[in-house]
Amino acid sequence: MALVAPQLHNRDLQTTFTGVQHHLSTPEAEIHQYRGIKFASIPARFRRSTLFTSYATKTDATKHGPITPQVKNRNLEERLYGVSRDQIPPALRVSTPRQDEFECLNLTITRPGHIPNDKLLPVMVWVHGGGNVSGSNSDWVCDAGAFVKKSMQLGKPVVVVAINYRLGLLGFGFNNLIAADNAAAGYEGVGNFGLYDQRTALTWVQKHISQFGGSPSNVTLFGSSAGAIDIHCHLLSSYNASPSTPPLFHRAILQSGAIAPCPTSIFEPHIAGTALARIMCALHISTMDELRAVEAERLVALTGERVKPVDDGVFLRKDWRTLSLAAPASKRGFRQDIIIGDVGCEAVLWSPAAQLWTTDAVVRRVRAICQSVYKADALLRAYDIGSNVGDEDLPERVMDLMSDALFACVVEGAAGAALTPPPSPVISAESPPTPSPLSLSQSSKSKSRSNSQSQLTKAALLPKPKVYRYVFDQASPHTDIPHHDVDLVYLFGNVPFPSLPELTDEENAEVNWDRVKVRDAMQSRWLAFANGEQPWEPLRSVDPETAFFSTDIMDSTCPQHTPPPTPADSDSESSDSESEAAASAAVARIKETQVSKLPENKIYVFGPEGETGERSMTIFEGRRRVHAWRDTFAPLGLHVIQKVGLELGNGPPVDSKARF
């Protein structure tokens, strides 16, 4: 008997949504999917979106909604996953939705078919990747049907929401014209329209997901690549900073993406403005009206392969730079528990560019970027790039360097930052401290320090977020490489594993036992986390004084925004130094005692060859090139290292002696 199309009446929105039975639905376990639900309106290009709530009495949610204007990625499945169009499951082989700049902000909800009226399920909100220039919530690889089915089988059912947001210049464009236009409309800050779209979607979820059986007080954000970077921005957002403000989400999963305090990760306003200025010059336009009149397709064509959020002084909290890497003086930067990790070969995205380099060209380029022959050569030696390397081996070495520079070390830094505890004042256990007499010249600084200590003490009393670290090294079932986004193959379970027609389903499952094991482990761990359980042992706090990912890795090219000293600072510098030295010594002794009593850190491994489970953190140094990060990344600084990765990913200049 055919299953009936689901209908759901939403009292708050005064509409009845008609969805579809997912192709994995069975009479015993129905899976309902509501597609293309509009959640926001876009009043004008380069303006923030507004919550949409005016629905007709009947809403057709049977088809995927329009997507953000973007370059069409033909044969992406084959290039990235090794899957031809014919191998895509027929039920997921849908036509690409139309592109529409002003109707693209819609979401898809996938949920168990029958949710008790007295129970609200955990919600997981998916933020797709794509370099903030491509992707959508209708990507078949990330369809949530199989994932929701697994949640039902495990007795940990969830509601999954997949969102669209503006991409490219339409989502992250910035210049002074846009700033003035936004200010005139009453908005602080400028740019980051895609991030605000995501916030609007989360606001819609908070207001209306309960009508779909989801709990607004139990929301997990999860995303990959640029989606993970955007989630990191939300974690470090000024809107997420105040403990007194209810958060829009309660946990986060960052897969192969994080931000670092450098222009290569977050644009400074002048850099973002320069990029758009060049485009306007190429189009021979100079006014806001002319910029809004340009066809979206033309702007898309002129956008690069990747755009970044902008540090406009509003969206990100003022101290985000000290929170995105572990540092001795940094306060805890996250309110939510997080899972964070990466895959073994992230840089396969740049494989075509890596194939073009010669050893001599790589050496010349790296030396030019590093501006130090000694440091550059140390970096090259760490990745075994030299005259002894043959042309057939060089691309792999180059991709290793790019993978570490752009992904692995940044992810590790973000994990360390989330672990860094706030510095707290040393208080005697016997009696409360009494204020000492202060001279008039010290009173101003004393008041400031007192307020600061009060804030830190309050922060120390807050529940401490947990950080769960993983590494994903299981190879793709079709390319035999643990490439960027391969974890999505296992997480969502839509990319078919290789099979032999002469074998039964059970026999094919035995052939693919290692892949099935990794898929089941990843799905179960993510679902446990979303259900408020501990997926595995969290990392313990690290000592930022000895962490090799600290703000020391940053160099002068990364803006520090250090406030200038005040006269009061200078007057009291001498008298403060002795007390601060004593306090530092006391804190150091306490740290030494605490660290010695803490258990060893654990990480969770997915692969290779079907290996899963908790492992000692010492295995991390064997699976990732941590020695190279310590010895060669730190002396150069994170900004230089990321520049090396980006420029190698661009390929050699046309006039170099590269392999063309």
CB atoms inside a 10 Å sphere around CB 256: 28
Q: How far apart are CA 192 and CA 194, in angstroms?
A: 5
Q: How far apart are CA 173 and CA 483, in angstroms?
A: 30
Q: Across residues 496-520, what is the average pLDDT?
A: 92
- Would you say residue 461 has pLDDT above 80? no
The encoded tokens of residue 640 equal 């230089």
CA 374 to chain centre: 34
Say if CB 496 and CB 89 are below 8 A apart. Answer: yes
Q: Across residues 634-641, what is the average pLDDT?
A: 90
pLDDT one-digit tens code per residue, 80-98? 888 888 888 899 987 878 9
The encoded tokens of residue 363 equal 């050496």
Spans of all domains in the chain: 7-224+268-307, 325-426+465-498+507-532+539-562+605-660
Instruction: Provide the phi-psi class of 243: left if phi over 0, else alpha when psi is between -120 and 50, else beta.
Output: alpha
Residue recorded with tokens 């973007």: 70
Residues near 568 by Cβ (< 8 Å), separated by ≥ 6?
441, 442, 444, 445
CA 278 to chain centre: 28
Say if CB 236 and CB 333 are below 8 A apart. Answer: yes
Residues in the chain: 660
The encoded tokens of residue 596 equal 């010695």
Q: What are phi and psi of 16, to 5 degrees?
A: -110, 115
Read off the amino acid at residue 326: A
Which of the residue ranges 306-320, 379-393, 408-422, 483-497 would you say has the lowest mean pLDDT?
Answer: 408-422
Residue 660: the pLDDT is: 45
What share of the chain has pLDDT > 90, as a percent? 61
Question: Radius of gyration over alpha carbons of the chain, in Å?
Answer: 26
Q: What are phi and psi of 270, to 5 degrees?
A: -70, -30
The encoded tokens of residue 32 equal 């309902």
Q: How far apart are CA 23 and CA 92, in angstroms?
A: 9
Sign (positive or negative) of CA dihedral 276, 279, 285, 286: positive
The encoded tokens of residue 554 equal 């940053």
pLDDT-derived band at 255, boundaries 50, 70, 90? very high
Read off the amino acid at residue 603: I
Element (H, E) at 354: helix 351-354
> What CA–CA distances, in Å, run from 29 to 145, 150, 151, 605?
12, 11, 11, 31
Residues near 454 by Cβ (< 8 Å), separated by ≥ 6?
none
Q: Across residues 643-647, what is the average pLDDT?
A: 94
Among 502-511, 548-557, 607-616, the range of highest mean pLDDT:
607-616
Ranges of H-type helices in 383-421 = 394-403, 409-419
Say if CB 109 and CB 212 are below 8 A apart. Answer: yes
Instruction: Provide the phi-psi class of 464: left if phi over 0, else alpha when psi is between -120 and 50, else beta.
Output: beta
Fold of 7-224+268-307: Rossmann fold (3.40.50)
Q: How far apart are CA 272 and CA 299, in angstroms?
A: 15
Any idea of the CA torsion for 261, 264, 267, 269, to the nearest 10 degrees? 100
3-state class (DSSP) for residue 273: helix
Q: What is the pTM of this model?
A: 0.87
Q: How far apart are CA 261 and CA 202, in angstroms?
A: 26
pLDDT-derived band at 233, boundaries 50, 70, 90? very high
Q: Across residues 279-290, what is the average pLDDT?
A: 95
Residue 335: the pLDDT is: 80
Say if CB 257 and CB 415 are below 8 A apart. Answer: no
Residue recorded with tokens 């376990």: 29
3-state class (DSSP) for residue 132: coil
pLDDT-derived band at 37, boundaries 50, 70, 90? very high
